[in-house]
């Protein structure tokens, strides 16, 4: 009778920080392995291990192929992980190839736990993001906007200096950066610096940083911001009642990519950022003076996921990711090519909301959407604000605003 034995489980061994320190079960799994997988530093930490070595270098797909071939051949494989394999580590990658029952995890101390222990800071609830091998800073900005603090795994490109410069440019100087280098190693060093100071430093490749807000936002960000809360030059902006109806029509969801085209000083973009945690808002404004106020309003409110873009649409939209939601506050009358470009870039199933005050702009928008076969609905809103008069109150009417809502057909399988 032929015996069909299951492949042995792959041991994923967290080595902690500094010199590997393994619990007895993890040490036994390592000792019983005939194949050792890991980065060059971790492989070098076990010079006497007799197993065949597979270095983690180059494309990870090739490493996974080698691991799968070894375990399918009945060989015991141990994968060495920095810190803890399931905490921003190789364990997540292994789970893309192997079912959980094919893997056996051995946890260890993470850089976040070690850094917080050194600093005497509780880390329950501390958001953590990894910029190691990544380019998107939105998760970092989202964590800071929501929690005022975030721990960040770095790399050679996204260094402490680069992170400090990005946060300084977006959020201003109301933050501090704690640089935790080579934790549990002889070269360990902790430095708490202002963003301006941190933007000029160099640090080890083995570094975790903690970014924390030190100065509260000047204007607490919430839905229904008072019109007077934002810096602006004039009365040309989306007032609170129209903003509320427009945002409801936009129906922003968490993670959406949002464009605010003709953003002005940012009233819609700032509140939209509250509705799509984890997603970016690109606020596009062509006027340099209004753009400068937009940057200041982002800093004053802490709406760090709003990315200010100084450009005239549609020319400045090429580099932006395709949006799920688009708000248009102006520009239709001067750029007849704007709306067709926006409809083309809008993702299937996406929504577009246009505010128009002029009848000509409204007619042009409806005609364009009709030609493009994009279904739409129209709402006219005229709000009145109370104002004192003769010891009583009167209602001062705002200009009527037309709110055009269009929905792009979802993609069909």
* Model pLDDT for residues 349-366, shown as the tens digit of each residue: 999 999 999 999 999 999
H helices present in 265-309, as ranges: 267-275, 288-301
Q: What is the pLDDT of residue 281?
A: 98
Give the C-alpha distances (Å, rounded to integers) separating 275 from 107, 135, 330, 352, 364: 36, 23, 22, 16, 30
Sign of CA dihedral 62, 68, 73, 78: positive
Q: Strands, E, within 319-389: which ranges?
A: 325-328, 351-356, 376-381, 384-389
What pLDDT, on the 0 to 100 scale, is given for residue 235? Answer: 67
Residues of CATH 3.40.1010.10 domain(s) within the chain?
10-109
What's the rounded Cα separation, in Å, for the pair 103 and 93? 12
pLDDT value at residue 411: 79
Write out the residue limits of the CATH 3.30.950.10 domain(s) in the chain: 112-213
How far lies 345's CA from each of 42, 48, 322, in Å? 46, 58, 6
Q: How many CB atoms lie within 10 A of CB 54?
A: 19
Q: Does residue 270 contact residue 225 with C-beta atoms inside 8 Å? A: yes
Is the CATH number 3.90.75.20 carried by domain 112-213? no
What CATH number is given for 10-109 in this structure? 3.40.1010.10
CA distances from 411 to 82, 250, 259, 321, 372 (A): 42, 19, 20, 18, 16
pLDDT of residue 2: 45
In this structure, are residues 206 and 141 in contact, taking their beta carbons and an 8 Å threshold? no
HSE-CB for 65 with a 13 A CA cutoff = 5
Instruction: Write the CA distances from 322 to 139, 316, 386, integer angstroms.
Output: 18, 13, 41
pLDDT score at 237: 82
CA angle 73, 76, 79 (to 5 degrees): 115
pTM for this prediction = 0.90
**Which tokens in the block code for residue 67?**
């691991």
Contact by Cβ (8 Å): 246, 378 = no
pLDDT value at position 1? 43
pLDDT of 4: 59
Q: Which two tokens stand for residue 20?
A: 């590997």
Distance CA 172, CA 169 (A): 6
DSSP 8-state symbol, 83: B
* Architecture of the CATH domain 227-407: 3-Layer(aba) Sandwich (3.40)
- Let me know: does 53 contact 94? Beta carbons within 8 Å: no
Which candidate, 294, 288, 299, places its Cα nearest to that of 237? 294
Residue 373's pLDDT is 93
**Domain ranges in the chain with CATH number 3.40.50.150:** 227-407
Query: Which residue is listed with tokens 């964590």?
Result: 143
Three-state DSSP class for 77? strand
Query: With a cut of 50, which residues of the chain have pLDDT below it?
Result: 1-3
Are the C-beta atoms of 100 and 31 separated by less than 8 Å? no
In degrees, rounded to 5, the angle at the alpha carbon of residue 245 between the alpha carbons of residues 225 and 249 is: 125
Q: Give CA–CA dist 141/310, Å, rounded.
A: 20
What is the per-residue pLDDT for 334? 76
12 close to 103: Cβ distance less than 8 angstroms: yes
Q: How many helices (H) and strands (E) are present in the chain, helices listed first? A: 13, 19
């Amino acid at each position: 009778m032929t015996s069909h034995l299951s492949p042995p489980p792959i041991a994923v061994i967290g080595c902690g920080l500094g010199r590997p320190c393994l619990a007895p079960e993890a040490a036994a799994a390592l000792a019983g392995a005939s194949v050792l997988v890991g980065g060059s530093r971790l492989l070098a930490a076990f010079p006497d291990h007799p197993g065949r070595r597979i270095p983690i270098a180059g494309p990870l797909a090739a490493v996974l192929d080698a691991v799968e071939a070894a375990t399918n051949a009945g060989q015991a494989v141990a994968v060495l992980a920095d810190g803890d394999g399931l905490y921003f580590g190789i364990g997540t990658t292994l789970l893309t190839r192997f079912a959980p029952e094919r893997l056996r995890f051995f946890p260890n101390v993470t850089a976040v736990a070690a850094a917080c222990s050194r600093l005497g800071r509780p880390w329950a609830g501390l958001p953590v993001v990894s910029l190691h091998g990544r380019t998107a800073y939105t998760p970092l900005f989202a964590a800071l906007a929501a929690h005022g603090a975030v721990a960040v795994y770095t790399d050679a490109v996204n260094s402490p200096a680069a992170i400090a410069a990005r946060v300084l440019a977006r959020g201003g100087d109301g933050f501090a950066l704690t640089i935790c280098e080579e934790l549990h190693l002889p070269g360990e060093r902790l430095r708490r610096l202002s963003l301006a100071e941190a933007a000029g430093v160099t640090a080890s490749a083995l570094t975790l940083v903690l970014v924390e807000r030190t100065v509260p936002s000047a204007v607490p960000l919430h839905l229904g911001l008072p019109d007077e809360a934002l810096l602006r030059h004039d009365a040309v902006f989306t007032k609170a009642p129209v903003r509320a109806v427009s945002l409801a029509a936009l129906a922003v969801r968490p993670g959406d990519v949002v464009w605010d085209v003709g953003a002005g000083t940012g009233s819609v973009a700032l509140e939209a950022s509250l509705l799509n945690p984890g997603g970016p808002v690109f606020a596009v404004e062509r006027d340099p003076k209004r753009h400068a106020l937009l940057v200041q309003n982002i800093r004053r409110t802490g709406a760090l996921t709003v990315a200010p873009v100084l450009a005239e649409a549609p020319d400045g939209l090429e580099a932006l990711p395709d949006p799920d939601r688009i708000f248009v506050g102006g520009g239709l009358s001067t750029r007849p090519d704007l709306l067709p470009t926006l409809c083309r870039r809008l993702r299937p199933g996406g929504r577009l909301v246009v505010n128009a005050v002029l009848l000509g702009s409204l007619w042009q928008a409806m005609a364009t959407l009709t030609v493009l076969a994009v279904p739409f609905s129209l709402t006219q809103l005229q709000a009145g604000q109370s104002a004192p008069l003769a010891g009583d109150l009167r209602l001062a009417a705002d200009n009527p605003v037309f709110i055009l809502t269009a929905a792009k057909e979802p993609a069909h399988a």
